[in-house]
Amino acid sequence: MRKLKLFLSLLMLFTFSVGSVWGYTITFKDNGTSSDSSTKRTTIDDIISDGASYVQSLSNVSNVYNARSGRGLKLGAKSSTGGLTLNLKEAVTVTSIVVRAMRYSESETTLKIQNKTDYTLTAALDDYTYTYSSPTSISSITIGSTSKRNYIVSVTVNTGSAEPTVFLASVLV
């Protein structure tokens, strides 16, 4: 019996807690209809539906429209690309930026994140992740279409993940 208690005590000695990724998401407004808007949008109130508290201002807003229901924003127009820069209220150290996006058409499929990486979008909403090689302080996020039009639904700013933590449990034998 004593060996059983000792064995159970050892099993309960360590409790592991694995954290999840920390950060926040900025969600973009669609227009709630079955077709894309033809009105260019330039303000935080017109562009962001959730997470506006993280954004100080917008800049470099070019050819941004509220898209049909479920598709957030449409970046670009028939004859030109589009994009925007989200200027954050506070600089934040990030590990990655995730943009939820989809292509506009088979010939309009490319999205650029942070003016660095081109992503080839698919016909379904998916997550496209720009990962920094080490934690990096940023004060803005730039997203743009590089092949005319595409849709973006949200941007998630990941600030890191919690390290596994070991807690010692107090066990009476």
Let me know if residue 116 belongs to a domain: yes
Let me know if residue 141 belongs to a domain: yes
* Residue range(s) defining the domain that contains residue 33: 2-168
3 state DSSP class of 101: strand
Let me know if residue 173 belongs to a domain: no
Asked if pLDDT for residue 38 goes beyond 80, the answer is yes
Q: Give me the pLDDT at residue 3, please.
A: 55
Task: Find the CATH number of the domain harbouring 59.
Answer: 2.60.120.260
Q: Give me the pLDDT at residue 160, please.
A: 80
How confident is the model over 118-164, as pLDDT tens digits? 999 999 999 999 999 999 999 999 999 998 999 999 999 999 854 44
3 state DSSP class of 3: helix
Count: domains in the chain = 1
Rounded to whole angstroms, the Cα distance separating 94 from 131 reads: 9
Question: In the chain, pLDDT over 90 holds for what percent of residues?
Answer: 76
- Mean pLDDT score, 11-31: 67
Q: Give me the pLDDT at residue 97, please.
A: 97
Asked if pLDDT for residue 11 goes beyond 70, the answer is no
Let me know if residue 100 belongs to a domain: yes
Q: Give me the pLDDT at residue 22, please.
A: 87
Closest CA to 82 of 36, 151, 149, 27: 149
Let me know if residue 23 belongs to a domain: yes
- Mean pLDDT score, 43-66: 98
Let me know if residue 111 belongs to a domain: yes
pLDDT-based confidence at residue 21 (cuts at 50, 70, 90): low
Q: Give me the pLDDT at residue 169, please.
A: 41
Q: What's the burial of 56, exposed, middle or buried (CB within 10 Å: 0-12/13-18/19+)? A: middle
